[in-house]
Amino acid sequence: MTIRGKVLLLLAVALGLVGCMGVAVQVGTYRLGHLRDWTLASQEQRSLYSQIRGDALVFLAELQRVHGTGALPEAVLNGYRRQVDAQLSRLQVLSEQKEQSSGTPRDAEKRQLERLAKELRYWADRAEAYVRQLPSGIGSDGAHPQVSIQEFEHNVEPLLQTALEAQREELAALEQSTNRRLRNGHLLAILAPAIGLCVLLALTLTILMPMHRRFRELLAAAERIGHGDLQPALPERGCDEFGTLERGFNQMARELKVSQSRLLLSDRLASLGRTVASVGHEINNPLVYVIGNLAYVHGELSQPPRLLSEKEQRDLLEALEEAREGAERVHFIAQDLKTLARADDDRTGPVELAQVLRDVAKMASHELQGRARLVEACAGMPLVRANATRLGQVLLNLIVNGAQAIEPGHVERNEIRVIARLSAPDRVTVDVSDTGCGIPLENLERIFDPFFTTKPVGEGTGLGLAVCLNIIESLGGNITVDSNPGQGTTFHVTLPTASPEIPRPSEDASARR
């Protein structure tokens, strides 16, 4: 049987058990409802029989009172007749309801009601006639006519007693039946789920144990392939899904063995494709700076021919020089993409942090505009052993990331601070801090993973910080991060010093917007 068939069988059994339990509960509820209706009808009948007895005494007293005043008792008799008819009619309706609930005819009870109705009407007529014959004024003291009471006790009371006793016995039987059904329902509520669970558990184990065994075989074969053993080793048995999977697994192993070299080549091409996808993110900042400067030069040269002032010539030359520097940055950034795969062998030497930061500040100015001010304090530090271009790439990336973490429009409240300090006799640490949104705790440990990014699609590839980490580690340093959501982020970039004997630059620390 296929896995689908087994699952469908398990589902069918489960639905069948649930359906059976539902039917049992429904039947029990239906029967208990009938018992409830039967009990309520019997209780109301008993109450009506007791009420008939009391109403008879009230009727006699009312007859005497009316006759004592000299009035005719016909009105009292008619009212009593209507009352008795209503009570007997209600008793008849209740008897029919019990007949429907029990499903058995109740002919004896109906005959008893007919006899009771006949006796009550006959007795009421006799009592009215007897009181009518009394002299006017007699009976006004409220004494009951003894003859009427005796007739009631002799003719009507036995019928009422018989009916009340029948109702008491019926109520007792109903109570016993209800208790018995409640006990059976309680037992059924315990046994039915237990039996259903046992059946489902047995059927589930029958299905799952062979599946588990074959899953383990597939897992062991997958581990062998993971260790380089591409020989098909799974027994191909059965026509179910596992048999199909085993045959497909063995076929896959054979094809893997044939095309292993092509898969390795495809993997290298995929890695290259992911790396090329990051070029737009990595070269965007210097490229924008180059375009801006070239646009400025183009605009100046597009003016009508005129003699340029010395200042204008200097501005044009400075813009061209900065554009050239930006182009070189693009060139070196493109080369730096290979650092994800291996460390490069570019030459390193003494680098002045303050000079590198001044160059980076120019390229990052367009990102900082409208977001934050840049505060620098890197002068007076020992020269570090690094590559100026690659170090500039790291600082530029960190500053741009910090700027992008700050919402534009509040320059006076936000800043990006770059502070250098001597963290050890042969180590210099550069702290790059921003007042942006910070990094959530769940992302903090992954920000240096290649291709991890929280930016929208098309705005980042997740390679920037991974490249930074590779560059700093290739220079013999390290980079760490501290961040609190809503309070900003600080990156700590530590680099080795160039040599103890090289003097520090004497330039004072400066602050720049």
Asked if residues 500 and 384 have their Cβ atoms less than 8 Å apart, the reply is no
Percentage of the chain surpassing pLDDT 70? Answer: 76
Query: Pick from 325, 340, 317: which is nearest to 287 by CA?
Result: 325
Q: What is the pLDDT of residues 231-286, one digit of tens each?
A: 666 776 667 666 777 777 777 777 776 764 454 344 334 434 544 544 555 567 67
| Average pLDDT of the chain, as a whole number | 75
The continuous run of DSSP H or E covering 96 comes out as helix 74-102
> Is it the case that residue 407 has pLDDT exceeding 80?
yes
Asked if residues 490 and 481 have their Cβ atoms less than 8 Å apart, the reply is yes
User: What angle do the packed helices 464-474 and 388-404 form, to 10 degrees?
Assistant: 150
Which of 166-175, 226-235, 480-489, 492-501 shows the lowest per-residue confidence on average (mean pLDDT)? 226-235
Q: Which band of pLDDT confidence, cut at 50, 70 and 90, is reported for residue 34?
A: confident
- Expressed in angstroms, the distance from the first to the final Cα of the chain is 76
Q: Which band of pLDDT confidence, cut at 50, 70 and 90, is reported for residue 429?
A: very high
E strand spans, 425-466: 427-434
Task: Give the mean model confidence (pLDDT) for residues 24-53.
Answer: 80
What is the C-alpha to C-alpha distance for residues 483 and 351, in angstroms, rounded to an integer? Answer: 28
- Tokens standing for 501? 């004997």
Task: Give the mean model confidence (pLDDT) for residues 185-203.
Answer: 80
Q: Which band of pLDDT confidence, cut at 50, 70 and 90, is reported for residue 365?
A: confident
What is the C-alpha to C-alpha distance for residues 125 and 74, in angstroms, rounded to an integer? Answer: 10
- What residues does 166 pair with on adjacent strands? none
User: Would residue 103 be called left, alpha or beta, if left means φ above 0 and alpha means ψ between -120 and 50 degrees?
Assistant: left
- The DSSP code sequence of 236-258 is ---SSHHHHHHHHHHHHHHHHHH
Task: Give the mean model confidence (pLDDT) for residues 32-61.
Answer: 81
> Is it the case that residue 341 has pLDDT exceeding 50?
no
Predicted pLDDT of residue 231: 67
3-state secondary structure string across 283-333: HHHHHHHHHHHHHHHHHHHCCCCCCCCHHHHHHHHHHHHHHHHHHHHHHHH
DSSP 8-state assignment for residue 497? B
The angle subtended at Cα 235 by Cα 234 and Cα 241, nearest 5°, is 90
Asked if residues 362 and 429 have their Cβ atoms less than 8 Å apart, the reply is no
- The DSSP code sequence of 374-421 is EEEE-TTPPPEEE-HHHHHHHHHHHHHHHHHTS-TT-GGG-EEEEEEE
Predicted pLDDT of residue 147: 61
Query: Pick from 451, 464, 445: which is nearest to 271 by CA?
Result: 451
Residue type, 129: A
Tell how strand 415-424 and strand 384-386 pair up. unpaired
DSSP 8-state assignment for residue 152? I
- Give the predicted TM-score (pTM) of the model: 0.37
Which of 161-170, 447-456, 500-509 shows the lowest per-residue confidence on average (mean pLDDT)? 500-509
> Is it the case that residue 45 has pLDDT exceeding 90?
no
Tell me which residue has tokens 């002068």: 379
Query: Pick from 129, 143, 117: which is nearest to 52 by CA?
Result: 117
What is the C-alpha to C-alpha distance for residues 117 and 271, in angstroms, rounded to an integer? Answer: 103
Surface-to-core class of residue 480, CB atoms within 10 Å of its CB (0-12 exposed, 13-18 middle, 19+ buried): exposed
- For the chain, how many helices (H) and strands (E)? 13, 7
- Tokens standing for 326? 């930006």
What is the C-alpha to C-alpha distance for residues 63 and 345, in angstroms, rounded to an integer? Answer: 129
Task: Give the mean model confidence (pLDDT) for residues 453-460.
Answer: 53
**Residue 410's CB: how many other CB atoms inside 10 A?**
12
Q: Which of 140-144, 275-279, 307-311, 413-417 has the highest mean pLDDT?
A: 413-417
List of residues 6+ apart from 231 with CB closer than 8 A: 224, 253, 257
What is the C-alpha to C-alpha distance for residues 493 and 469, in angstroms, rounded to an integer? Answer: 9
Q: What is the pLDDT of residues 277-316, one digit of tens each?
A: 445 555 676 777 788 878 877 777 777 777 777 887 788 8
Tell how strand 373-377 and strand 415-424 pair up. parallel
Task: Give the mean model confidence (pLDDT) for residues 414-431.
Answer: 92
What is the C-alpha to C-alpha distance for residues 250 and 230, in angstroms, rounded to an integer? Answer: 9
Q: Which band of pLDDT confidence, cut at 50, 70 and 90, is reported for residue 230?
A: low
Q: Which residues of 346-360 are buried (b: 16+ CB within 10 A; e: fewer)?
A: eebeebbbbebbbbb
Percentage of the chain surpassing pLDDT 90? Answer: 8
What is the C-alpha to C-alpha distance for residues 255 and 248, in angstroms, rounded to an integer? Answer: 10
